[in-house]
Amino acid sequence: MMKLFRVLTILGASVFAANIDDRIQQYILKHPDVVAQALELYAKNQMNEKLEQVVASQDGDIVLANQKAPNRLVAYIDYRCSACQKSYPWVKDFIQAHPDVALVLRPLPVLGGEATRAALLAYEAEKKGAIAQYNEALLDKSGPVNAERLSELEQSLGLETVSIEGKPHWALSYVKSHYKQSALLDNQSVPLYLLRVDGEVKVLQGIHVSSLDDAYQQLVSHASH
């Protein structure tokens, strides 16, 4: 008798589950937008996880300002990039106006030529305590970033000579990690800015004079609701 009861219980559960599955299937067929919304939410959550992973502190971060600030602006730049040079003064103005945002530099040399050497020299400048002067020379002022100009900076700032030939430079692993981070976000261009405010991240691929302020206000407003 007990064995028969168990069999009937299992059969009843199976029928109930089949009915539930059928109802779910019928609902989805009548409301296909639900699937689209679910997929959109899933993709958004996946991207948010990637952004959180990338924007978190990394070994190769060069913190330029507001080191202990709770929020972060991560800047991927190529020193040979004219758009990076154009936007850098706006970035500095934004950071000066927002002491709650740390400015983090991650060199991402994508334009060839002396771009990789310039990126590695940025780490030498940071080690020497001369990263502000280095950035001022290459980002605050226009002009070609070539071998002659970099050699002049090595001498004037007292930096270790960097060559991309021979033994790999000690900071090359940091630059490679920046490539991986960029690829994780399906990004292939510079400048790329990631602004994290109150735990939320906004991606800005190139900016104009008010982009950062607008993004900051949007994130603050969203966090307050």
pLDDT in tens, 51-63: 888 999 999 999 9
Average pLDDT over residues 58-72: 96
Average pLDDT over residues 39-56: 69
- Tell me the pairing of strands 71-77 and 101-107: parallel
Q: Give the pLDDT band of residue 15 (cuts 50, 70, 90).
A: low
d(CA 85, CA 94): 15
Average pLDDT over residues 19-47: 58
Q: What is the pLDDT of residue 166?
A: 86
Query: Of 103, 100, 99, 71, which Cα lies nearest the Cα of 87?
Result: 103
**From its phi and psi, is residue 186 left (phi > 0), alpha (psi between -120 and 50) or beta?**
left
pLDDT digits (tens, 9 = 90+) for 124-170: 999 999 999 999 999 988 789 999 999 999 999 999 999 988 899 99
Task: Identify the helix (H) or strand (E) that includes residue 173.
Answer: helix 172-184
Q: Note the CATH architecture for domain 53-224.
A: 3-Layer(aba) Sandwich (3.40)
Q: What is the pLDDT of residue 208?
A: 84
With both helix axes pointing from N to C terminus, report the angle between 82-97 and 211-224 in degrees, rounded to the nearest 10.
Answer: 50
Strand order in the sheet with 71-77: 62-65, 101-107, 71-77, 192-197, 200-205
Instruction: Give how far Cα 72 sits from Cα of 10, 38, 43, 140, 151, Å.
Output: 56, 30, 24, 21, 32
pLDDT digits (tens, 9 = 90+) for 88-104: 999 999 999 999 999 99
Q: What is the pLDDT of residue 39?
A: 47
Q: What is the pLDDT of residue 133?
A: 97
- Extended beta strands in 31-156, E state: 62-65, 71-77, 101-107
